[in-house]
Amino acid sequence: MHEARPRQFEAVPHALLHRRVRDIASGTEGELMAVQHEDVSGSPAYERWADVAYVRGPSGREISTAVANIEAV
């Protein structure tokens, strides 16, 4: 039996979703809009999966960062 392959982008539940957070890498503060499990390799030959957080800052623009960089404000 074949193992099911994850979709290219898969939503991941997170305790801080839709709450105010800070990205410790950039210092950006905003609302955690989504966390997705994504293939971040950029290559079809080599997959590298990571959980990526999307934070909407005060300007309305979203940034992406590693989930490990997110902390509650």
In order of their start, the domains of the chain are 9-72 (2.40.10)
pLDDT of residue 2: 46
**For residue 61, what are the CA distances in angstroms to 10, 12, 33, 46?**
21, 21, 11, 30
pLDDT of residue 8: 67
Its pTM stands at: 0.83
pLDDT of residue 6: 52
Q: Which residues of the chain fall below pLDDT 70?
A: 1-8
Give me the torsion for CA of 21, 42, 60, 32, rounded to 10°: -20
pLDDT of residue 47: 86
